Each structure stands twice: as structure tokens, then as C-alpha cells.
């Protein structure tokens, strides 16, 4: 009887662990189910309420007192201009900040102070950004309650979020590669240009798109900057007055007529479709970058 | 004649051949004087004096944490990249103190190449890996000249025969040993004078290790090689000179013995060296 036999306790213990191993995925998938079910039921409600209101009018027409004709053309325009412009401001700035923090001032005191502040900034309620932007940009710098002020507001709002992602993206590039390049006589700029940035870019752009999605859904700071306007014209310049999709939806949903509430639901579907399209673009771009830039000398 | 200024060193690199350079600078390519390296508030090495002779292989051996890698990284100023690292003392490269204010560490690193513990090829093709150093250092080369340089480096690193048909394949498709030889080729491509190797075979199998050792012996007539190794047999096999490092009672790394490899292994002067190489400590 040289063979070692498990005691009863050991056998029970193994059985217990196996049971836990089987139960855990069930519990975890329950958590997933709750999240998915919430989103699905929201979508369902929105589609049931507003699905039949989906029409080209919704996209092509200006707002109107008549729900049959009302559209959100000016709000879509306003959103595209402010959010697009804010992305143009925010993404390069975030990438530059991240490059400075990770590649140049690594581990320095300045770097840790900056990182700490950026993290704090990410937690500031968005309406505060609206108030500050209106006071500083709108009145003090005289930019008014215009598209450009709105764009800067959204850019400042999304900056910390996107910067944090960009920093993480650069940190995810193995230091081995940087050291290898430095050891061959590369300058920091060359290391960034040829080693870290190409490998971090896909994740950075994903972060950028997430920031854009966030900006697209923001109502509070824009409400402060633009006010609740009834606009029946396309923006003509960066200094035009504007409104955005979430504000238009807010406007409709607060009206007493049920037709406008339905319209609001239809508008939410449009907003979601735009967000979905943006995410699709982000994923496609990331895959393209990973395949093309990440794997070759550029 | 001695080279006193960095500018003169740069000028000589442009005007002189390697042989003429060595006539000027003498047999000691790298000379370390009273080197001390501190990380934050921890002293890693102190009072290190050693010189490395041209076209020789010098091994630095010693137990973990004795500062071997620190010494190596001080020579091509890779310690600059570690936050909180402070270097004092002198490291002369061809007579010029690499830590003096007017010296550009980027130039030093292009003349003193380095190979790391774990193979770290770039996520490029095999060709682009070897060409990287040539490209970032602004060598003005035609396509065929670039190809020749890349080939040359791969031949020296004993990798050419294995990769000549698939230079455009991704470097990660190579085995670990091949990747490490690729890293050696990458370092050799920029034509450095000194090659630093930080435990280059520690993650490799014995056959890959033997290949790298034999390639090091085959290129030593053209380069000055400094190799940090845990493996005492490796030091005995490849090196001409051996330095033994050991932490003192405060865990500060020091060189306890330096001499010809044969003498170190057959007739060590220091009792600790004898204990270390005979496997009693470390």
C-alpha cells in the first residue's frame, strides 16, 4: 500500500473547490445579464415609444411647433461642429500631454503633480466646466455663447479622460523596446516617433473616440454655455449660436404633448446610431493601425 | 597623444580609421575611475576602478545584486534613463569623460552598443530591426548600401544563413536564440567600438548560448566586448579578462578582483573570489 490515498477531509475540500469553480461563472454571467438587460430594456422602450417617429424629417428639418414636421437638424449640426472641433482640440493635446508625462518627465515631481491634477480633473462635475468656460471664454475673452466656446468646453471636459487613456497607452509599451532603441543611439523624439507612439496610437484613438462619445452625450455644460435655444438655421461660422442633440431631446421630452415625447425617443435612436457608428469607426481604425503601423518601421 | 575634448573625439571619428583611432587612444578603450552610482538613497556601486582593453572580451561576474548591470549601464549612460539614478566618478571612452557636460549620450550610445538580458527585437521585420540604428543615426545610405550593412551585421551575428530568405518576416517569428542574435546584429550594424552584453544568454538554451559565445569570440578582433554574466563557466569560456564584483557589508557593489581570466579561475588572490567560483557562495 505504498500509494498515497486522500483523506476524507482532502476529498471534501477538493469537491468544495470544484463546486465553487462551477458556480462562479453562473454568478458572474448573472452580473453580465443585468447589465445587458438594462441596456436592452432601455433600447426597447425607446424603440417602442419613438420607432414610428423615425423619418428623414427628424434629421433634415429644423425644430418646429408642429411635431409632424419637427426635426433636429440644427442640433445635429451643432453637435457635429462642437464635438468635432473639441476632438480636434482635445486629442492632439492629450497625446502631447501623455508623451510629455511618460517619455520626457518620467517619474519626476512635476510629472506626478500633473498626473494627480489630471486625475482630479476627471472627477469634476461637467456643469462646472460649463460655468468656467462661459465665464472665462464666453465673457472674459469675449467669445460669447458660440460654437467655439462650446467646443472648448467639451474639449476641456474630455481632456482628462483622454489624457489618462493616452498615458496608459504609452505605459503599456514595453520598456524593453524603448531601452533597445536608446541603446542604439536613438533620441527621445525618435524613440517616441518610431517605437512608443506607433504602438500606443490604437489605444489612444480608442480613448479619443470614447471621449468624443462622452462629449456627444453631454447636456449640462452645453446648457450653461449655449442656453436652451430654438434655432432654425444652420451654423454659418464658429461664432454662430448653436444647440446640441441632448439639449434638443431635453427640450422635446419636457413638452406636454405626447407626440414630442415620441419624437424625443426617436431622437435618442438617432443619437445612439451616431454613437454606434463612431465606435465602429474606432474599432476599424484601431485594427487598421495595429496591422499597418504597429508592425513596421515608419 | 590624448583626446581631451568631445569635439576632438567627434572629429577623429569622421577623419580617422579605427586603426588610426586606436593608435591615438591606446589600448584602453573604456576606463572607469572611482565610479559611484546611487539610485534614490541606495548606493548600488562605489569605488569602482577598472579599464577595458581594446579587442578583448572582459567578463564581469558576481552574485545577484552586486551591481554588475549598474556598472555596465554606466558605461553607455543608460543609467541616465533611470529616474533617481546619480552617477559620480569618471568613465572615459577613448579618453573623453562620457559624463562631462558637453558629451551627448546619444552619440556615446551609438559608439557603445548594448545587448540586454531578454531578447528585445522591435516589432518590425528582421531587416528593419537591423536597419533601425542606421536609420536613427542618420547614416546617408543608398538602398543597396543599407542592404550590405544589414547583411554584414547579420553575418557577424551568425544569423545570416538562417534569415537570408526571410528578411521581411516579422522578428517575432524567430526563436529566442535567433532573436538575441538579431539584437546583437542590430547593435553591430551601427559599427560601435564597444559592445556591452548584460547576461545575454540567461534566457536561452545551451545550444543557443554556445552559438552566441562562439560568435562573440569571432568578432572580438573588431570590437571591445564587455559581458556581464551569472554563469562562471561562460566567463571562463569566452573572456580574456574577468572582473569579480561582490556586495560589501552595506550591500554596496565593489570590484574585489580583476585580472586575466585564467588567473582568476586558477589562482584567485581574493578568498571571496575563490569561494564564489568554487560555488561555496553566490
B94, B132 in Cβ contact below 8 A?
A: no
**Which of A185, A190, A191, A198 to mutate against chain B (most B CBs within 10 Å)?**
A185
The whole-number pLDDT of residue B282 equals 57
**SS3 label, residue A179:** helix
The C-alpha atoms of residue B93 and residue B111 are separated, in whole angstroms, by 9
- Residue B185 C-alpha, separation from nearest chain A C-alpha, in angstroms: 11
The whole-number pLDDT of residue B64 equals 87
Q: How many domains does chain A have?
A: 2
Q: Are residues A211 and A121 in the same domain?
A: yes
The whole-number pLDDT of residue A295 equals 66
Q: Are residues A149 and A189 in the same domain?
A: yes
User: CB under 8 Å to A286, separation ≥6 — which residues?
Assistant: A202, A203, A205, A206
Give a yes or no: residue A297 inside a domain: no
pLDDT by residue for chain B (282 residues), tens digit each?
Answer: 567 788 888 888 878 887 787 777 778 899 999 999 999 899 999 999 999 999 999 999 999 889 999 999 999 999 988 888 999 999 999 989 999 988 999 999 999 999 999 999 999 999 999 999 999 998 888 999 999 999 999 999 999 999 999 999 999 999 999 999 999 999 999 999 999 999 999 989 999 999 999 999 999 999 999 999 988 899 999 999 999 999 999 999 999 999 999 999 999 999 999 888 887 765
The C-alpha atoms of residue A207 and residue A212 are separated, in whole angstroms, by 9
Give a yes or no: residue A298 inside a domain: no
Q: Are residues A103 and A154 in the same domain?
A: yes
Q: Are residues A63 and A41 in the same domain?
A: no
DSSP string, chain B: ----SHHHHHHHHHH--HHHHHHHH-SEEEEEEEEEEEETTEEEEEEEEEEEETT-EEEEE-STTSSHHHHHHHHTTGGGGSTTEEEEEEEEETTEETTSTT--HHHHHHHEEEE-SS----SSBHHHHHHHHHHHTT----HHHHHHHHHHHHHHTT-HHHHTT-TTSBGGGS-HHHHHHHHHHHHHHT--SEEEEESTTTTS-HHHHHHHHHHHHHHTTTSEEEEEES-HHHHHHH-SEEEEEEE-TTS-EEEEEEEEHHHHHHS-SSHHHHHHHTTS--
Tens of pLDDT, residues A126-154: 999 999 999 999 899 988 899 999 999 99
- Residue B262 C-alpha, separation from nearest chain A C-alpha, in angstroms: 31
pLDDT at A29 over 60: yes
Q: Are residues A143 and A122 in the same domain?
A: yes
The whole-number pLDDT of residue A193 equals 93
Q: Are residues A68 and A162 in the same domain?
A: yes
CA-based torsion, A35, A38, A44, A49: positive or negative: negative
Q: Which three cell numbers stand for residue B264?
A: 582568476
Query: Average pLDDT in the A242-267 region?
Result: 90
The whole-number pLDDT of residue B60 equals 96
The vertex-A60 CA angle with A57 and A62, nearest 5°, equals 90
The whole-number pLDDT of residue A10 equals 87
**Which of B111, B135, B136 to mutate against chain A (most A CBs within 10 Å)?**
B136
A109 touches chain B (CB under 8 A): no
The C-alpha atoms of residue A279 and residue A26 are separated, in whole angstroms, by 29
A199 touches chain B (CB under 8 A): yes
State ipTM. Answer: 0.93
CB nearest to B133's CB, from A184, A195, A294: A184
Q: Are residues A47 and A161 in the same domain?
A: no
| CB < 8 Å to A177, chain B | 120, 122-123
pLDDT at A226 over 70: yes
Query: Average pLDDT in the A272-279 region?
Result: 89
Q: Are residues A222 and A271 in the same domain?
A: yes
A190 touches chain B (CB under 8 A): yes
- Residue A247 C-alpha, separation from nearest chain B C-alpha, in angstroms: 47
Between residues B129 and A298, the one the model is more confident about: B129
Q: Are residues A163 and A249 in the same domain?
A: yes
Which residues of B make CB contacts under 8 Å with A? Answer: 76, 78, 81, 83-84, 106-107, 109-111, 113-114, 116, 118, 120-125, 128, 131-133, 135-137, 170, 183, 186-187, 190
Q: Where are the domains of chain B?
A: 6-277
Query: Which range of residues forms the domain containing residue A84?
Result: 57-292
Cell 524613440 found at? A191
Give a yes or no: residue A2 inside a domain: no
Give a yes or no: residue A120 inside a domain: yes
B183, closest residue in chain A (CA to CA): A180
A11 touches chain B (CB under 8 A): no
- Residue B263 C-alpha, separation from nearest chain A C-alpha, in angstroms: 33
Q: Are residues A44 and A189 in the same domain?
A: no
The C-alpha atoms of residue A190 and residue A187 are separated, in whole angstroms, by 5
The class level of CATH for B6-277 reads alpha beta
The C-alpha atoms of residue B195 and residue B52 are separated, in whole angstroms, by 11
Contact A184 B113 (CB under 8 A): yes
Q: Which three cell numbers stand for residue A31?
A: 452580473
Q: Are residues A48 and A124 in the same domain?
A: no
**Greatest distance between any 2 Cα atoms in chain A:** 93
Residue A37: band (very low, low, confident or very high) from pLDDT cuts 50, 70, 90: very high
Contact B135 A179 (CB under 8 A): no
B106, closest residue in chain A (CA to CA): A185
Contact A184 B120 (CB under 8 A): no
φ and ψ at residue B177, rounded to 5 degrees? -65, -40
A104, closest residue in chain B (CA to CA): B81
| CB < 8 Å to A108, chain B | 83
pLDDT at A3 over 70: no
CATH of the domain at A162: 1.10.3720.10
Q: Are residues A134 and A217 in the same domain?
A: yes
Give a yes or no: residue A184 inside a domain: yes
Tens of pLDDT, residues A43-92: 999 999 988 888 888 888 888 888 888 889 999 999 999 999 999 999 99
The C-alpha atoms of residue A162 and residue B1 are separated, in whole angstroms, by 57
Amino acid at each position: 500500500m505504498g500509494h498515497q490515498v486522500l483523506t476524507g477531509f482532502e476529498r471534501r475540500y477538493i469537491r468544495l473547490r470544484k463546486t465553487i469553480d462551477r458556480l462562479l461563472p453562473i454568478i458572474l454571467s448573472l452580473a453580465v445579464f443585468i447589465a445587458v438587460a438594462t441596456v436592452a430594456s432601455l433600447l426597447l422602450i425607446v424603440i417602442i415609444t419613438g420607432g414610428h417617429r423615425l423619418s428623414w424629417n427628424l434629421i433634415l428639418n429644423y425644430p418646429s411647433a408642429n411635431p409632424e414636421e419637427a426635426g433636429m437638424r440644427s442640433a445635429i449640426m451643432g453637435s457635429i461642429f462642437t464635438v468635432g472641433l473639441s476632438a480636434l482640440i482635445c486629442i492632439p493635446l492629450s497625446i502631447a500631454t501623455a508623451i510629455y508625462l511618460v517619455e520626457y518627465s518620467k517619474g519626476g515631481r512635476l510629472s506626478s503633480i500633473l498626473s494627480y491634477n489630471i486625475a482630479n480633473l476627471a472627477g469634476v462635475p461637467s456643469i462646472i466646466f460649463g460655468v468656467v468656460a462661459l465665464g472665462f471664454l464666453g465673457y472674459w475673452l469675449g467669445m460669447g455663447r458660440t460654437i467655439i466656446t462650446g467646443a472648448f468646453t467639451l474639449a476641456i471636459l474630455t481632456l482628462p479622460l483622454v489624457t489618462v487613456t493616452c498615458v496608459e497607452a504609452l505605459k503599456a509599451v514595453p520598456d524593453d523596446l524603448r531601452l533597445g532603441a536608446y541603446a542604439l543611439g536613438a533620441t527621445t523624439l525618435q524613440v517616441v516617433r518610431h517605437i512608443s507612439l506607433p504602438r500606443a496610437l490604437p489605444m489612444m484613438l480608442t480613448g479619443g473616440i470614447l471621449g468624443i462619445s462622452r462629449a456627444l452625450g453631454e447636456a449640462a455644460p452645453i446648457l450653461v454655455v449655449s442656453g436652451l435655444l430654438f434655432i432654425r438655421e444652420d451654423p454659418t461660422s464658429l461664432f454662430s449660436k448653436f444647440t446640441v442633440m441632448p439639449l434638443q431631446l431635453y427640450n422635446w421630452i419636457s413638452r406636454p404633448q405626447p407626440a414630442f415625447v415620441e419624437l424625443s425617443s426617436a431622437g435618442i435612436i438617432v443619437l445612439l446610431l451616431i454613437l454606434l457608428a463612431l465606435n465602429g469607426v474606432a474599432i476599424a481604425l484601431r485594427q487598421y493601425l495595429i496591422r499597418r503601423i504597429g508592425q513596421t518601421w515608419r | 597623444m590624448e583626446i581631451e575634448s568631445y569635439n576632438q573625439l567627434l572629429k577623429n571619428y569622421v577623419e580617422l580609421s579605427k586603426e588610426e583611432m586606436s593608435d591615438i587612444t591606446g589600448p584602453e578603450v573604456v576606463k572607469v575611475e572611482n565610479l559611484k552610482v546611487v539610485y534614490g538613497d541606495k548606493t548600488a556601486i562605489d569605488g569602482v576602478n577598472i579599464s577595458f582593453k581594446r579587442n578583448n572580451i572582459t567578463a564581469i561576474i558576481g552574485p545577484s545584486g552586486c551591481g554588475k548591470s549598474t556598472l555596465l549601464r554606466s558605461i553607455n549612460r543608460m543609467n541616465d534613463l533611470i529616474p533617481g539614478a546619480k552617477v559620480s566618478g569618471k568613465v572615459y571612452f577613448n579618453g573623453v569623460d562620457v559624463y562631462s557636460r558637453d558629451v551627448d549620450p546619444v552619440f556615446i550610445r551609438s559608439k557603445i552598443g548594448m545587448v540586454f538580458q531578454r531578447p528585445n527585437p522591435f516589432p518590425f521585420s528582421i531587416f528593419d530591426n537591423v536597419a533601425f540604428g542606421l536609420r536613427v543615426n542618420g547614416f546617408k545610405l543608398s538602398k543597396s548600401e543599407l542592404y550590405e550593412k544589414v547583411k554584414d551585421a547579420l553575418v557577424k551575428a551568425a544569423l545570416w544563413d538562417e534569415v537570408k530568405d526571410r528578411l521581411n518576416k516579422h522578428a517575432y517569428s524567430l526563436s529566442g536564440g535567433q532573436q538575441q542574435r538579431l539584437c546583437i546584429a542590430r547593435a553591430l550594424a551601427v559599427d560601435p567600438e564597444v559592445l556591452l552584453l548584460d547576461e545575454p544568454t540567461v534566457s536561452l538554451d545551451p545550444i543557443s548560448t554556445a552559438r552566441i559565445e562562439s560568435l562573440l569570440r569571432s568578432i572580438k578582433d573588431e570590437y571591445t566586448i564587455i559581458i556581464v554574466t551569472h554563469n562562471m563557466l561562460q566567463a571562463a569560456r569566452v573572456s580574456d579578462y574577468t572582473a569579480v564584483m561582490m556586495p560589501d557589508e552595506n550591500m554596496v557593489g565593489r570590484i574585489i578582483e580583476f585580472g586575466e581570466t585564467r588567473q582568476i579561475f586558477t589562482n584567485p588572490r581574493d578568498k571571496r573570489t575563490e569561494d564564489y567560483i568554487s560555488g561555496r557562495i553566490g
